[in-house]
Structure 1
């Protein structure tokens, strides 16, 4: 049950959206037991955002939510991959993005909880 939410001040064209979808779909497998077949994405672009009081640079806030938990080493590998993805596709510098991870055993789907 992975969910990756992206908020950015960058304009995300349909082409960039598809590129993000494809690359995030591959990247999620860094987390053991996770795959694109269960991945849900939300991509919000053109959001007014400020970092260090400035809105002139490309900025992104990414949340990765998963069923269960992963090790700090795994999250570190995921951060490295996500930093590359958002840099390549949206031009966000590594020092202008935050990535937040949430693990939980309380997930519902299809009228039931896991």
Structure 2
């Protein structure tokens, strides 16, 4: 699951661009692919960064199902791939983008848990 919360507007073209980029980037996590990826886009959210809402900012949350520790290098690769995509597509300064990573061995799908 990749959730993007941003104060910037996201038009249809930008949403497709980001969805495609997220689908490619998730492969940085061992065993993950676009086949199981869900993306959530939450735009034009009132957001402050360092007490300032005069410029757009973004917060990404990446949550994956994993029964073992996800290597830190996977998260680093995702940051390297996701930051420029969000920055370039939405015109957000990379210094105003936060990304949070998490994994869990408890994930529900199709009425049951993995």
Asked if these proteins are the same fold (TM beyond 0.5), I'd say yes
TM-score, normalised to structure 1, is: 0.94
Q: Which runs of 5+ in 2 are unaligned?
A: none
Q: 1:57 aligns with which of 55, 61, 74?
A: 55
Q: What does 1:35-114 correspond to in 2, within 5 Å?
A: 35-68=33-66, 69-114=69-114
Deviating above 6 A after TM superposition, structure 1's stretches of 4 or more consecutive aligned residues are: none
Q: Quote how far apart the aligned CAs of 1:17 are.
A: 0.6
Secondary structure, aligned partner of 1:57: coil
Q: For residue 75 of structure 2, give the secondary structure of its aligned residue in structure 1.
A: helix
Are 2:26 and 1:12 equivalent residues in the alignment?
no
Offset of residue 73 of structure 1: 1.2
Would you say how many aligned residue pairs link Structure 1 and Structure 2? 112
Q: Map Cα deviations across residues 66-110 of structure 1 (whole Å, 9 max, x no partner).
A: 001411111111111111111111111121011000100001111
- 1:47 aligned counterpart, secondary structure: coil
TM-score when normalising by structure 2:
0.94
RMSD: 0.8
The offset of 1:56, in angstroms, is: 1.1
